[in-house]
Structure 1
């Protein structure tokens, strides 16, 4: 068979393209919702962080999860919560924001190593001299359980923060915006900013990422010749 494998590869490419567009559209829509309901979004993120901390404590107590790894996860979520102190504004050079990004990678790597290791031999295997290294597969977590733990306790809060927080470079000049932009708003009438600054809008990081990717695709499409400038504006 020659044609069917090519059709399979083409289907994978088309499916991946549709999946990427769906994720980008979802990120864009969620960013707009957060921009309209910042108070509700902050409240939900706060409760989500402390709810996951409670889940991790229960996993240590009842399911005997590793104590130090769980403690690292709890401390990481406390660091994530510190990014909400000026919600939804975040300065990309803020040490706490940089530390949060590093902790996401460390948690993912350590928990992946933990679930990749084979479980320790069960107590019944210690009494079985014929198979002293027998593994109790009943105590091994299933793929759905591992994926659910990663989705809820490792990735959910960083992903929600990525969708909710706004980069400091896009903040309107107002009271308290010095933290995000690093500039002080002038009070005099003679020091007014240009009209373009008045049209700037607080834009979420996920929304800015989607816009940048779209602009990059438009520019490269014009260079390659897929469409003209007027067609790119309607893209």
Structure 2
């Protein structure tokens, strides 16, 4: 009985550490993007076009559904529009909102596709020269989702900066200018600030540097 409770405790601790690692990774990537804006834009553009080519290859050599891939290519074309004013984006702009909707739609469409694979009719299986369709392995499905469905939206989330969160920055040589702050960085800082405020309400005083990053 106690071992079962211990296992639950281990799951909670492991999940917390995983979330913490992801948050720190997002923050670090946002810092890199802020320092290398132009190379990041070029890299994202090449990655988007490269994955589009990958969709064509999946259709030609693996018989992936044409219309699902066509919808995915359209989604990537919309993602590409976010780079027009890179790294800045309006959170209420139609392009950004459409990108968010398309990410969710693609996730569920492809999840449904892999969850319900096509089963040939019995008459078709009796034909000479019949070859059973390839059933994707778990590693293949995960790789497809990671590279073709999630990679670019995740990269955009880390790279783009909201106009609503531009921070004033003063430079002695060039006067007042604005510094971009990544969406991921804004989210991480907001969560850390809430945790810091909650800990104070509970009577536990965290180090003052905890509430502010960078």
TM bracket, shorter-chain basis: 0.7 to 0.9
Pairwise mapping of residues 10-89 of structure 1 onto structure 2 (< 5 A)? 10-89=9-88
Structure 2 vs 1, CA of residues 223 and 38 (structure 1 numbering), >3 Å: closer, same or farther? same
CA contact (8 A) 1:222 1:232 kept: no
Q: Check if 1:164 corresponds to 2:159.
A: yes
RMSD: 2.1
Counting matched residue pairs gives 201
Q: Check if 1:147 corresponds to 2:142.
A: yes
Partner Cα distance (2:74, 2:144) in 1: 17
Cα deviation per residue 1:129-183 (whole Å; 9 max; x = unaligned)? xxxxxx94x610001001100000000000000000001113368xxxxxxxxxx
Shift of 1:25: 0.5
Runs of at least 4 residues of structure 1 off by over 4 A? 122-125
Partner Cα distance (2:191, 2:66) in 1: 41
Shift of 1:30: 0.1
Gaps of 5+ in 2: 169-175
Q: Which residue, 198, 203, 206 being the options, matches 1:220?
A: 198
Shift of 1:213: 0.1
Q: Secondary structure at the match of 1:86?
A: coil
Shift of 1:200: 6.1
**Structure with bigger gyration radius:** 1
CA contact (8 A) 1:170 1:201 kept: no
